[in-house]
Amino acid sequence: MRRRDFVVKTTLGAAAAAIPFGGNLFAQAEKSEGTPDLIALYGAEADEMFERGIKEMGGMGRFVKKGDSVVIKPNIGWDRGPEYGANTDPKLIKRLVKHCFDAGAKEVLCFDHTCGNDWENRYKMSGIKDAVESEGGKMVAGNTENMFEDQKIPKGKSLKEAKVHKLAINPDVFINVPVLKHHGGAKITCALKNYMGCIYDRQWWHRNNMPQCIADYATFQKTSLTIVDAYRVMLADGPRGNSPEQSPVAKYQIISTDIVAADVAATQIFANVARQHKIGTPFEVSDIDYIALADELGVGTADLSKLNMKRISMA
């Protein structure tokens, strides 16, 4: 597992290193050549942005090989319809599943440990069950203890071991599809925090320094791709949401191979949307404890300038 991780990481690192940056790491990142690490999109429907973004990313074939079993981990925590922005946009998930199959995936499985034991109800209400199953993917339950296995987290500081969902353990392809929203406890929930749906005993995290646990777990979880759904951004009263008015349509999306960078970009987008709509708090990246902790543990980089980034406006 670790060796495999290592191989993947070094290969990616080598690939990234091999990309010519055009000598300038700053504002001109769009102009750089080669496949990007992070793509920020703006101005269209969630599925359209994904269509465009994944094309720029080098197509789904870059991540999904023929015969792979793909695991998608959206946020399906809440029994809310899509208009609340409490769960990942079902349209995006639908298009994603389609792309996975087009790239030759053997099966596409989708799960989340929902925030309540009525998991089936939440799968249905979020619209994600329909989205996945209409494209031929499968929804897998994530609430029963027997779906979880004990795993050691060697690099963890607070979290040394955890019960991890079977699908999240060493998958062929793991795609993290969080939704960007406000969070009462962690201030912002996005890609790193979305991993909380992969483990069984979340309450333990709440008791034992949650930001550190979030960062610790990220050292363990293999992720091929992170897609941040910021089509609707819940700016206040998260993570469950109070009314759809607090989740304005912002039309952003981030597709990234680096999960920490995705969270950094997402936090900046959150602050920007909060300013535009004058709702909630425009958090700084430094306010979000787990980002720095994950960066420290080497999960990814919090420095966007180190990445080959591409910005695409479709408005």
**Closest distance to other proteins from the beta carbon of 11 (Å):** 27
Q: Tell me if 55 sits within 8 A of 41, measured CB to CB.
A: no
Rg (alpha carbons) of the chain, rounded to whole number: 18
DSSP string, 40-66: EEESS-HHHHHHHHHHHTT-GGGT--T
Smallest separation (angstroms) from other proteins to the CB of 176: 20
> Which range in 8-16, 138-146, 148-156, 292-300 contacts other proteins by CB under 8 A?
138-146
**Residue of the chain from 15, 19, 140, 292 that contacts other proteins (CB under 8 A):** 140
Helices (H), the chain: 2-18, 46-56, 90-102, 119-125, 128-134, 191-194, 202-207, 210-220, 259-277, 289-296
d(CA 154, CA 260): 19
Task: Give the list of residues 6+ apart from residue 49 with CB closer than 8 angstroms, or none.
Answer: 41, 42, 43, 231, 251, 253, 314
207 contributes a contact to other proteins by CB under 8 A: yes
Binding status of residue 315 toward other proteins by CB under 8 A: yes
Cα angle: 266, vertex 50, 124; to 5 degrees = 85
Q: In the numeric block, which tokens belong to residue 245?
A: 């008015």
| β-pair type (38-42, 249-256) | antiparallel
Pull the structure tokens for residue 141: 């339950």
User: Site for other proteins (CB under 8 A): which residue of 136, 154, 185, 298?
Assistant: 185
Residues from 254 through 283 that contact other proteins (CB under 8 A): 264-265, 268-269, 271-272, 274-276, 278, 281-282
Among 12, 15, 141, 169, binds other proteins (CB under 8 A): 141
Stretch of residues binding other proteins (CB under 8 A), selected from 3-11, 177-185, 224-232, 295-303 = 177-185
Q: Is residue 24 at the binding interface for other proteins, with CB under 8 A as the rule? A: no
Q: Which is nearer to other proteins, 2 or 31 (CB)?
A: 31
Question: What sign does the CA torsion over 38, 44, 46, 52 have?
Answer: negative
Q: How far apart are CA 202 and CA 109, in angstroms?
A: 22
Q: Are 181 and 85 in contact (CB under 8 A)?
A: yes
At CA 227, angle to CA 263 and CA 68, rounded to 5? 130
Question: Between residues 6 and 36, which has the closer beta carbon with respect to other proteins?
Answer: 36
Identify residues 89-128 at the interface with other proteins (CB under 8 A): 109, 115-121, 125
Instruction: State the number of binding residues for other proteins (CB under 8 A).
Output: 56
211 is a contact residue toward other proteins (CB under 8 A): yes
Site for other proteins in 53-92 (CB under 8 A): 79
Binder among 62, 157, 183, 306 for other proteins (CB under 8 A): 183
Question: With binding defined as CB under 8 A, does residue 184 bind other proteins?
Answer: yes
CB of 118 to other proteins, least distance (A): 4
Query: What are the residues binding other proteins (CB under 8 A)?
Result: 40, 42-43, 79, 109, 115-121, 125, 138-141, 143-144, 146-147, 166, 183-186, 202-204, 206-211, 237, 239-240, 242, 264-265, 268-269, 271-272, 274-276, 278, 281-282, 304, 309, 311, 313, 315
